[in-house]
Structure 1
């Protein structure tokens, strides 16, 4: 494979992700990576709509992304744009995708939850060696959450659930800080929504949780600041680890604070300050419900997985 310049854009419910890379038979080298907090699910996703304000934010962001790709001279036929939960579930998701196409020429592929889970798995196994250990891979988006039970060689089970951070915020974060009662309500809701996972988890019995990008990047950043002597468990640029004691300490440091207080937590970034509360509540539910013993973190997720898959197909 000759060296080529490519781009993958992931139009997520909370964040638009951009990856520009040089690819060759040796792999890919990132030239530019960007996360834009567009929040297209805000104010409408729970009603199945993308609001006018959210559409305006999306169009402004995608116009800026288009300019960035032109600056990097990425060919149009080597630019792939994928859209996830908000686009597939909102009544006007397809209309927004068509408007983006009109303005930029980008052809948008609205992928289903099964495809999304496949790409997330590819991203995780590119970032770290899952090995022969059967693990539960988890990616928390604004609209959906993907779970994959897998090892390095194969996927045993995968499923996408429409229980993303924006949806959980809309339903359960009635106050800031959140209340113990609303966390209990959320846990009952999650038990109902995820009932189909329990038998699968019992059958495969993974003990390791691999968290991808987003929430888990933020947890790793916060955990890093708690180890000023450099003894944190960040193993490489694409992999970190976290034991359960560390997770529970970070959980306690976040969940009972209001937004202003959360922003003062070392390692917290503004774009995650709202959704982090319901996200860590979800992570805690999964850890406790399924007796997971260890957390690994992948900085790669959908966009890197999509690119890895494309490279396996020789960038057709």
Structure 2
């Protein structure tokens, strides 16, 4: 007996807003399968408002409402049965974040949970990685966002430490990350990785996904520190316009990809990692799985 349900996750980030729709495939006596059905990304970049002016502008408030109305219609068309919307760094720091959330609920009938950095890190860390990783190894999981980056240490398949830092691509573009924050991150990574002889990175986020795609590597194969450093240096030899026209990057990717790569490289340097694996999972996947397993008991994740 096969049962297929559709779940959705809305991730309201500092750089972009995403709607992920997944098929939940239940089979008697077998693990539940999660298959991505549709992903829509809208680059509203709330962080550019909030990190500079501390609130979401009227223009972006309207764009958010329009986007959420569209997402609501898409979920209806896909016959989504359950969804959850989570907002991260930009919405939680915006002085008018709660007000905008209420406006969205009024016009789009979508309720938004504004989650803190630790909850965000926990959702990401709870994402099932067993099909992507070797449980005998130790990993530093790095999820780079626009406003913050979430770090988790995974040892033998279990998360043993997790922390969110206010170091994100949009903050870096606006020169809003203090040296003290970088030092705190360096200290945290070195402290939590010093006892491990070998550690690899797991990278998630749109920028590392794009770099992985450009590399032509097969799924499951890592990018090396040498490759990422070379690509980082290459990016900096091109202007913003040339990254769009010659490197074929979208305009909302062409600027943030440099600070994102800097974060991954810093994490690799401080942890001593030589390889970074890119399983193409993130907060949206974690939201769907956490909602599913909170509503269904006795099911094994796959």
Aligned length: 291
Q: Which residue of 2 aligns with 1:21?
A: 22
1:123: how far off? Answer: 3.1
Structure 1 unaligned blocks of 5 or more = 173-184, 225-232
1:171: how far off? Answer: 0.8
1:196: how far off? Answer: 3.5
Q: Which residue of 1 aligns with 2:218?
A: 234
Q: Which residue of 2 aligns with 1:53?
A: 59
Structure 2 unaligned blocks of 5 or more = 27-31, 298-302
Asked if the contact 1:129–1:152 (Cα under 8 Å) also holds between the matched residues in 2, the reply is: no
Q: Which residue of 1 aligns with 2:294?
A: 313
Structure 2 counterpart SS, 1:155: strand
Structure 2 counterpart SS, 1:159: strand
Report whether the alignment pairs 1:166 with 2:170.
yes
Change beyond 3 A, Cα 1:3–1:298: same
Report whether the alignment pairs 1:202 with 2:194.
yes
Report whether the alignment pairs 1:298 with 2:279.
yes
1:192: how far off? Answer: 4.5
Report whether the alignment pairs 1:115 with 2:119.
yes
Q: Which residue of 1 aligns with 2:252?
A: 271
> 1:41 and 1:220 mapped to 2: Cα distance?
25
Q: Which residue of 2 aligns with 1:220?
A: 212
**TM-score (ref. length: structure 1):** 0.84
**TM-score (ref. length: structure 2):** 0.87
> 1:100 and 1:294 mapped to 2: Cα distance?
41
Q: Which residue of 2 aligns with 1:89?
A: 93
CA root-mean-square deviation: 2.4
Q: Which is worse superposed, 135-144 or 18-27?
A: 18-27
Q: Which is worse superposed, 157-166 or 194-203?
A: 194-203
